[in-house]
Copies of this chain bind each other. A is one copy, B any other.
């Protein structure tokens, strides 16, 4: 059994042929070129799909992971950020008319959760919370073997769980959301602020005098060299994530968290204090059960997650 997964990103549309074990047999990428208008983006989606389906059309279906508000039932994608003019498009119908296959549309965070459930770290768990740490903090909830969608498919927005109600203003309009502390850009900004008081940190050596190459990865590299500031900065992230995760675990009574995305690459510098903080913060009955696993999809997680939709529904 094979399926096609399409990852609709702001810069590129990635598409791939994936087998039941989650192995990518073939993949391609075309530029999104959203500046040319949303109709062009739809053409690009069709183009990427065509490239894959011409390679092999013996698939159970086509899955699409898209940003924005998705109605899985209707197959529509509403207002994806960064694609001007795109109001509500029935991608499901467009692609099934074009290719004569079953098409499954889901928001990208939910697709990532289903991907872990079908192929990855969630294969052996009936319920878990998937958290993707990147530019933003995304999430998806699998409960008792099913995607927990909420009323409109938007459930799992763990990035907008607040850890400090009087804290920093978030892009969403609220205050103190976890995303506003641990999103990639926010980490970089924080290091830039703090590095002035830590001029001897290896971070400066690695990122250049003007911190021109500074990224979350720099922190990791510095931590590996034993840099105290970097180790502490990653610990701070763990403490904040631990608080947001504890609120989530207490609310859902779901004890497994699967971490994906770039920041999860901090390894044990993040995981060890995160596990400790989470355990200390959850309610007593959850303490012996709570655990954090790392995502297994890593590279091409977007394609794999999207392709898993077709396996999940069939």
Question: Which residues of A are in contact with B by a Cβ distance under 8 Å?
Answer: 69, 127, 139, 143, 148-158, 160-166, 172-176, 239-240, 243-244, 246-248, 250-255, 280-286, 289
Contact = CB atoms under 8 A, between A and B. Distances in A.
B243 A165 contact: yes
A152 to B, nearest CB: 6
Q: In the complex this chain forms, how many copies of it are found?
A: 2
Nearest to A247: B161
B165 A165 contact: no
Contacts of A155: 251-254
A174 B252 contact: no
A143 B251 CA distance: 13
A255 B150 CA distance: 9
A166 B236 CA distance: 12
A240 B165 contact: yes
B127 A151 contact: yes
Q: 8 nearest interchain CB pairs?
A: A150-B253, A165-B243, A155-B253, A154-B253, A174-B281, A160-B250, A161-B247, A157-B250
A150 B282 CA distance: 14
B240 A161 contact: no
A154 B286 contact: yes
